[in-house]
A and B are shown apart, each in its own frame.
Chain A
């Protein structure tokens, strides 16, 4: 196999993992451009990759950087007065492309987005995406111990916020 074909293979295999990660990270459904960006970056950097990590781990760590860059840009755009960049905003952030979940999950998601970034990141990777502690540690560049303790604190913080805002958690209602 030609080395560059690997990217296409990986896209078929892990494309949705990357997509899902970016969607939950940014809160948008229309993150195809970001997915494209991630795999293009991977294509260009492939010669430097050579089996350092599992492909999925590697792709997700690229995705993470892309998502962080994206949110920085988004903050810039948000900061400008609406009149100046109104057209940009409406194009970029049309509400119909926002990520919408079932009611109860939406509340959890909304509350989670108010937590600090490290908490959000570990919750998205470990719980929503279901990635192992080991892989998460590699993606975030943390130790495994840090992933575990941060996850624990994040869950605690989220639970506290949920109960403070009087939103009781009905697991049953949410899953079905």
Chain B
């Protein structure tokens, strides 16, 4: 029963039907009408209740009158009778109503099984590529619940303190998360025409050093913006920001998506990171490609989670309380429309599944995956590039049309024979393993 390509396309088409909303004025009309109906209903119910009372009293009087000759004198029977009734009533109360133990205790959102599985993945990856450090986080994008969180560095054991410290520690040049937010901003602002053609390779439209695509500025000739995004073309991002979106608008979106501020997760020592400087056109263009500023893994999770979650930014959190409205409590704001989020999800899915996607090899069998990876050169505290030292990371979620898990994997300075451009191969196995295991577990839980 695997659907053919054409059938998948038909499905995608239907899924891309626009979201329809009622006009606000009509909404108000409906609410007013509902209130009127409610009042009417109340009056009618009141009258009905009144009717029962009258009927009941009449019936009682009638019965009393009828039964009066047989009734024993009230003084002899009443105390015993009423006593019996009250104990019975008390018992019914105990049995009939479930014990309400007041407020439920808060419980950790960490899922033991997923946590165990990511610890294993981290250990395996350490044996394979001996990195300086590796961090993995799994969350439920729909709620912001952190399902698993792990980090290990070369010279240090994994303890809880380090685990949370890594998640809340800001690192320069977030890469993929910035690119995804840039795409979302451009779509939301109506500035992204996927079919428009541009010249990839090297962009000299901005004063200063030209901005080059990662293949030494060769690019792929004249391609569409959509293909540019799929191929992770720096020129596409630079042009998009410099000529269409402009730095100040982009900065606004970065802020909306939660960068530059603590997410508020219950981890100690969370850093706020830094919004990229967009005063100069060149810096704004570089920020769109993922360079500049600093962001914590938690911020990146939250921002990409908003895309997975229909444009709703959720606060990552570690504790949940039964009986509270988790959604309202942890929803921060709507950062882009549902439709924009869906378009970004579709494009991110093509990054992994498409012929020209840069994320080929990150996918899973039988599941649609939306993901983006980035390889970023490390910098010293002053922002100078550390020659030959790179961090590779992936952020992504699945299934892409109805995301259930969001995964972030970051490997710092892996030792690999592969050229840096090919480091996707280093990060793909742990990413696939974590995503696959988590998704399988979450789906099993939901079936139960």
Contact = CB atoms under 8 A, between A and B. Distances in A.
Given A8-B34, A155-B11, A130 B22 contact: no
A23 B29 CA distance: 18
Interface string A143-176: 0000000001001101100110000010110111
Contact of B402 (A108, A130, A159): A130
B16 interface: yes
B19 A20 contact: yes
B9 A169 contact: yes
B6 interface: yes
A128 B343 contact: no
Given A4-B38, A156-B7, A172-B195, A123 B20 contact: no
Interface string A9-51: 0011001100110011000010010011001100110000000
Contact of B30 (A4, A20, A35, A155): A35
30 contacts: A4-B41, A4-B42, A7-B34, A8-B31, A11-B30, A15-B27, A15-B30, A16-B20, A16-B22, A20-B19, A24-B20, A32-B22, A32-B29, A40-B34, A43-B41, A44-B37, A44-B41, A104-B13, A127-B14, A127-B15, A128-B14, A128-B17, A152-B3, A155-B11, A158-B10, A169-B6, A171-B13, A175-B16, A176-B194, A176-B195
A66 interface: no
Given A169-B10, A171-B13, A175-B13, 16 more contacts: A11-B27, A11-B31, A11-B34, A12-B31, A32-B26, A36-B34, A40-B33, A43-B34, A43-B37, A44-B41, A105-B13, A130-B15, A155-B10, A169-B13, A171-B16, A174-B13
B301 to A, nearest CB: 23
A1 interface: no
A109 interface: yes
Contacts of B27: 11, 15
A24 B17 contact: yes
B193 interface: yes
B56 to A, nearest CB: 20
Q: Which 10 A-B pairs have the closest CB atoms?
A: A127-B14, A20-B20, A159-B10, A128-B17, A32-B26, A175-B16, A19-B22, A171-B9, A169-B9, A16-B21
B191 interface: no
Nearest to B6: A159
Interface in B377-413: 401-402
Contacts of A130: 15, 401-402
B18 interface: yes
A175 B346 contact: yes
Contacts of B30: 11, 15, 32, 35-36, 39
Interface in A105-160: 105, 108-109, 112, 123, 127-128, 130, 132, 152, 155-156, 158-159
Contacts of B194: 172, 176
B16 A7 contact: no
Contacts of B402: 130, 132
Nearest to A29: B20
A23 B19 CA distance: 10
Contacts of A36: 30, 33-34
Interface of A: 4, 7-8, 11-12, 15-16, 19-20, 23-24, 29, 32, 35-36, 39-40, 43-44, 99, 101, 104-105, 108-109, 112, 123, 127-128, 130, 132, 152, 155-156, 158-159, 162-163, 169, 171-172, 174-176
Contacts of B401: 130
Contacts of A172: 194-195, 226
A36 B30 CA distance: 6
A169 B4 CA distance: 13
B1 interface: yes
A36 B29 CA distance: 9
A159 B7 contact: yes
A155 B12 CA distance: 10
B222 interface: no
Contacts of B10: 108, 155, 158-159, 162, 169
A23 B17 CA distance: 12
Contacts of A109: 17
A32 B31 CA distance: 11
